[in-house]
Amino acid sequence: EADMKKLRKNNKGFTLTELIVSTAILGIVAVAASAFMVTGTRAYSSVSYTVRLQYEAQIAMAQLQEYTVDCADGIAWDDGTKILYVVNGADVHLFKFDPTAQTLSYAKVLKADELNEHSIAYDLAAEHITDMDVKLSEGMAEVTLQMQRNSKTYSATQLIALRNRPEFAASWSQLEDKI
């Protein structure tokens, strides 16, 4: 009996009030930590979309430059069909912008072949492109791409100095007449 009285006096547990206060403090710390994590995740996603757009624009511009810089015979930007024609020897390189699908596609055909839009098999070059414009001047081609992914937008412009002196035209039929 003496031992039981001694145990009751030495009972040093937590009171209900102490448990409620500590649980409330733990809850506040957990909410603050989760808010910090959510903010970090959103910032990462935002930066990630911007970097992806920049990377995709660089790849598209590099491919455009690769075929355009050495253009020897002729180059045409048809603003109506949104197709860039680059003629090098027997090859015609086509870059087609599709505003509905927001894509830039690439195809290579022989100049001797009939350029029938329905028979050309295009490969995807870039996505998330909302607008494309090409300005041709003597010895230069200026390509501008507008891109958007979710709420992020990116604009890329590249000035390509042409190594040769190709013919310029505003459509394939005009270019075909010149070359």
Report which of 98, 140, 142, 88 is spatially closest to residue 120, judged by C-alpha positions.
98
Quote the CA–CA distance of 128 and 53 in Å, as a whole number: 8
To which residue do tokens 């992806």 refer?
52
- For 31-89, what is each residue's pLDDT tens digit? 999 988 988 888 887 788 888 889 999 999 999 999 999 898 999 999 999 999 999 98
Q: What is the pLDDT of residue 65?
A: 93
Considering only CA atoms, give the Rg of the chain.
32
Chain-wide mean pLDDT for the chain?
88
Residue 165, pLDDT > 80, answer yes
Who has greater pLDDT, 114 or 137? 137
In this prediction, residues 105-116 reach a mean pLDDT of 81
The token pair that represents 23 in the structure block: 């649980």
Q: Determine the distance from the C-alpha atom of residue 179 to the mean position of all C-alpha atoms in its chain, rounded to a whole number.
A: 35
Query: Does the pLDDT at position 8 exceed 70?
Result: no
For residue 65, give the H/E element and its range: helix 16-68
CA angle 163–53–42, rounded 5-degree value? 160
pTM: 0.75
Burial of 130 (0-12, 13-18, 19+ CB in 10 A): middle
What is the edge-to-edge ordering of all strands in the sheet holding 103-110? 123-127, 103-110, 91-98, 83-88, 74-78, 167-169
pLDDT of 3: 62
**87: CB partners within 8 A, 6+ apart:** 71, 72, 73, 74, 75, 93, 111, 166, 175, 179
Looking at per-residue pLDDT, the higher value among 174 and 9 belongs to 174
The percent of residues above 70 in pLDDT, for the chain, comes to: 91
